[in-house]
Chain A
Amino acid sequence: MSRTLPGRIWRSIYRQPFADEEREGARVINDSLLMHLHPVKLRRHGLSITYTFGLGGISFLLFIVLTVTGVLLMFQYLPTTEQAYADIQRLSGEVFLGQLLRNMHRWAAHAMVLAVFLHMCRAFFTGSYKPPRSFNWAVGVGLLVLTLLLSFTGYLLPWDQLAFWAITVGTNIAGYAPLVGRALRSFLLDGIVVGQGALLRFYVLHVVVLPLVLALLVGLHFWRVRKDGGISGPPLPGGGHE
């Protein structure tokens, strides 16, 4: 038991003192939640920045930023055709740091689409989809679709001209699907045009359904990275293969 209060608090969270040697470092991982994300040791190759560019991690970080800023935005926003636009205007004008909050949410959303796309390209170009990672690649494709849908549903919420017509164009495209197109479109819009029904549907999808599914799928994705033997890499020189 540590004698100082900060020491006792530290020990209640981490079971060991601040780690400065390898054995202690191993325990930082092994004795904490991090164990479920990272192995205690990893191949030097996986550390190389030019291998992954950290893009998966960056996608995840942006998702967290989007969750935090998104929840804060929810305190200031009502998804009705009368109120939504005024709320965004108020946010940009009167609410303390409201404009910054909205900017961060918007730019992080663009950045996440980009990061996820680049992460997919990285996984492809390094052959990281090969067995045993084929399934995790498929999970990734699901994540890409979800990321696009999240961004798309969020696009309508400010209820301005840009939003309205972008979603009109976008859902028109969905409407062309053979057989199910019309049904899909009217399901998304809760009607035949973009209106109150559509705003509510997009809102619920955007703040509850899609983030929840994405978070679950990210959990699966990370778990599979560990189970598939960590980050991919070239065969080991000793003839062993990863």
Chain B
Amino acid sequence: MSEDKKVFPTDRTFTLVEVVEGTSPLIAKEPDDTVPTYPHLLLTEAVAALFVLLGLLIASIFFNAPLGELANPLVAENPAKAPWYFLGLQELLLHMHPVFAGVIIPATVLLGLLAVPYFDFGPKGEGVWFSSRRGVGCALLCGGTTLVAIPFALYLSGANPTNAIVVDLKTLALPQLISTGLIPYAAMLLSLTLLYVLCRRLLGASRREALVGVFTALVLGMVILTLTGLYFRGVGWKFFWPWDPTRLLHG
């Protein structure tokens, strides 16, 4: 007891229970920037939830979910479209070997996503959108390039009866898996690598900042392909303007 008093001269109201590694909002309390969860967070959540539900209700009152004719295996839909979130893949399928468009590319994207934190693990840039000014620069550079390059490639392929972008890969004297599979796949990986290197060299970006650029390119690329499938493809999977009345002729 007296020993205790010597070490802790005041009447302490706390006790050291355990030393934990890592952190919690309560560790670096200077200056204290925490707020109580109730009411702050709970009210924000409640209001946000009400808005989402309201929006959903209004949309559901005014717009009916589509319902086509009864399924008929003998009469193909033209165009037969996958659900919208797979339309990017369906667009790739037009230009590439199905093993690559349908399997290897999605698998690469998923594995890439899983791998990101194990290659970019430094704490720098956490908690800030795009990490830094330079991160924004990388996003703009890569995003801008994608916004120009992919529509341009689609335009070239649309002007070509074989859907080829530059050369018709199908005519190369190689197995299809290589000519329309491996070659465009490698070209894609190369473009992304090039964007990465460009961010690093040209903008002096860190690994994380350059990754922000590559991710932007990837996401925008998928968005563009998806929108193309959704609004610019019609009968026979040909290009149409979204407002062209002949675009979707069912049955």
Q: A residues engaging B (CB < 8 A)?
A: 19, 22, 25-26, 28-29, 34, 38-47, 49, 51, 54, 57-58, 61-62, 65, 81, 85, 88-89, 92, 99-100, 102-108, 110-111, 113, 117, 120-121, 124-134, 137-138, 141, 145, 148, 151-152, 155, 158-166, 168-170, 173-174, 176-178, 181, 193-195, 229-230, 232-242
> A100-B61, A104-B56 given as contacts; is B93 within 8 A of A173 (CB)?
yes
Q: Is B118 an interface residue (CB 8 A)?
A: yes
Taking a contact as CB atoms under 8 Å apart, the answer to whether B59 and A58 are in contact is no
Min CB–CB distance A125 → chain B (angstroms): 6
Who on chain B is nearest to A134 by CB? Answer: B117
Q: Which residues of B contact A241 (CB under 8 A)?
A: 23, 28, 123
> A47-B41, A126-B128, A236-B28 given as contacts; is B64 within 8 A of A242 (CB)?
no
Who on chain A is nearest to B106 by CB? Answer: A173
> A100-B61, A138-B114, A242-B25 given as contacts; is B56 within 8 A of A130 (CB)?
no
Taking a contact as CB atoms under 8 Å apart, the answer to whether B64 and A99 are in contact is yes
Minimum-distance CB pairs A-B, first 4: A240-B28, A134-B117, A103-B60, A106-B65
Which residues B125-155 have CB closer than 8 A to chain A?
A: 125-131, 139
Taking a contact as CB atoms under 8 Å apart, the answer to whether A103 and B59 are in contact is yes
Interface string of B40-75 (1 = CB under 8 A from A): 111011001100110011011101111111111101
Q: B residues engaging A (CB < 8 A)?
A: 22-31, 33-42, 44-45, 48-49, 52-53, 56-57, 59-61, 63-73, 75-77, 80-86, 89-90, 93, 98-99, 101-103, 110, 113-114, 116-118, 120-123, 125-131, 139, 208, 212, 215, 219, 250-251
Taking a contact as CB atoms under 8 Å apart, the answer to whether B102 and A174 are in contact is yes
Taking a contact as CB atoms under 8 Å apart, the answer to whether A242 and B23 are in contact is yes
Taking a contact as CB atoms under 8 Å apart, the answer to whether A41 and B37 are in contact is yes
A–B pairs, 6, beta carbons within 8 Å: A19-B38, A26-B36, A42-B37, A131-B117, A237-B30, A242-B28
Q: Which residues of A contact B69 (CB under 8 A)?
A: 160-161
Taking a contact as CB atoms under 8 Å apart, the answer to whether A128 and B126 are in contact is yes
Taking a contact as CB atoms under 8 Å apart, the answer to whether B36 and A240 are in contact is no
> A58-B52, A65-B56, A229-B24 given as contacts; is B81 within 8 A of A169 (CB)?
yes
Who on chain A is nearest to B36 by CB? Answer: A25
> A38-B37, A164-B72, A176-B99 given as contacts; is B57 within 8 A of A239 (CB)?
no
Bound: A51/B71 CA distance, A: 45
Bound: A198/B112 CA distance, A: 31
Min CB–CB distance B66 → chain A (angstroms): 6
Q: Given A19-B38, A165-B77, 12 more contacts at CB 8 Å?
A: A40-B37, A42-B41, A124-B212, A134-B118, A155-B83, A160-B71, A161-B71, A166-B80, A169-B82, A178-B103, A229-B22, A229-B24
> A151-B85, A178-B103 given as contacts; is B127 within 8 A of A158 (CB)?
no
Taking a contact as CB atoms under 8 Å apart, the answer to whether A124 and B83 are in contact is no
Q: Which residues of B contact A39 (CB under 8 A)?
A: 25, 37
Taking a contact as CB atoms under 8 Å apart, the answer to whether A107 and B83 are in contact is no
Bound: A230/B70 CA distance, A: 49
Q: Which residues of A contact B25 (CB under 8 A)?
A: 39, 41-43, 229-230, 242
Taking a contact as CB atoms under 8 Å apart, the answer to whether B102 and A127 are in contact is no
Contacting A49 at CB < 8 Å: which of B29, B44, B72? Answer: B44
> A134-B117, A173-B93 given as contacts; is B130 within 8 A of A125 (CB)?
yes
Taking a contact as CB atoms under 8 Å apart, the answer to whether A130 and B117 are in contact is yes
Taking a contact as CB atoms under 8 Å apart, the answer to whether B85 and A113 are in contact is yes
> A62-B52, A161-B250 given as contacts; is B116 within 8 A of A129 (CB)?
yes
Taking a contact as CB atoms under 8 Å apart, the answer to whether B114 and A127 are in contact is no
> A25-B38, A25-B39, A178-B99 given as contacts; is B52 within 8 A of A169 (CB)?
no
> A43-B34, A65-B53, A134-B118 given as contacts; is B82 within 8 A of A126 (CB)?
no
Bound: A44/B85 CA distance, A: 35
Q: Which residues of A contact B116 (CB under 8 A)?
A: 124, 129, 137
Min CB–CB distance B132 → chain A (angstroms): 10
Taking a contact as CB atoms under 8 Å apart, the answer to whether B71 and A163 are in contact is yes
Min CB–CB distance A193 → chain B (angstroms): 6
Contacting A41 at CB < 8 Å: which of B36, B76, B126? Answer: B36
Q: Which residues of A contact B83 (CB under 8 A)?
A: 151-152, 155, 166, 170
Taking a contact as CB atoms under 8 Å apart, the answer to whether A107 and B114 are in contact is no
